[in-house]
Chain A
Amino acid sequence: MLWTNIFAGFGGQGVLLIGQLLAYAGMYEGKNVSWLPSYGPEMRGGTANCSVVVSDDPIASPCINMANCVIAMNRPSLDKFEQNVLPGGKLFINSSIIDKKATRTDIDVYYVPCNEIADKLNNPKVGNMAMLGAYLEATKAVDSKSVLDALLYKLGEKKAHLIPLNEQAIELGKESVRDQIK
Chain B
Amino acid sequence: MAKKLMKGSEAIPEAAIQAGCRFFFGYPITPQNDIPEYMSARLPKVGGCFLQAESEVAAINMVYGAAAAGARVMTSSSSPGVSLKQEGISYIAGAELPCVICNMMRGGPGLGSIQPSQGDYFQATKGGGHGDYHLIVLAPSSVQEAVDLMHTAFDLADIYRTPVMLLADGIIGQMMEPVEFHEHEKRELPDKPWAVTGYDPNGTKPRAIVNSLYIEVDELQEMNDRLQARYKEIQEKEVMVEKYNTEGAEVIICAYGTVARICKSAIALCAEKGVKVGLVRPITLWPFPEKELVEVMAQPSVKRELTVEISAGQMHEDVRLAINGSKPTDFYGKPGSYTPTAEEIAEYILKTREA
Residues in A with CB closer than 8 Å to B171 are 36, 62-63
| Given known A60-B268, A62-B171, A63-B258, contact A33–B5 (CB-CB < 8 A) | yes
| Given known A34-B175, A39-B174, contact A61–B264 (CB-CB < 8 A) | yes
A35 with B5: CB separation less than 8 A? yes
Q: Quick check: which of B84-92, B117-125, B335-343 contacts chain A, the rest being far away? A: B335-343
A62 with B261: CB separation less than 8 A? yes
A153, closest chain B residue (CB): B5
Residue B114 at the chain A interface, CB threshold 8 Å: yes
* Per-position 1/0 for A24-49, Cβ under 8 A of B: 10010000111111011100000000
B177 with A33: CB separation less than 8 A? yes
Q: How many residues of A contact B (CB 8 A)?
A: 20
Residue in A20, A32, A40, A66 whose beta carbon sits within 8 Å of that of B176 in the complex: A20
Residue in B176, B261, B342 whose beta carbon sits within 8 Å of that of A23 in the complex: B176
Residue in A41, A62, A65 whose beta carbon sits within 8 Å of that of B343 in the complex: A65
B343 with A36: CB separation less than 8 A? no
Residues in B with CB closer than 8 Å to A59 are 177, 261
A21 to chain B, nearest CB (A): 10
| Given known A60-B264, A60-B268, A62-B175, contact A23–B5 (CB-CB < 8 A) | yes
A27 with B265: CB separation less than 8 A? no
Residue B282 at the chain A interface, CB threshold 8 Å: no
A32, closest chain B residue (CB): B178
A90 to B174, CA, bound (A): 26
Residue in A32, A36, A41, A66 whose beta carbon sits within 8 Å of that of B175 in the complex: A36
Residues in A with CB closer than 8 Å to B175 are 34-36, 62
Task: Enumerate the 9 nearest inter-chain pairs by beta-carbon distance, A residue then B residue, closest first.
Answer: A60-B264, A65-B341, A61-B265, A35-B176, A60-B265, A61-B262, A36-B175, A61-B261, A27-B178
Interface residues of A (CB under 8 A from B): 20, 23-24, 27, 32-37, 39-41, 59-63, 65-66
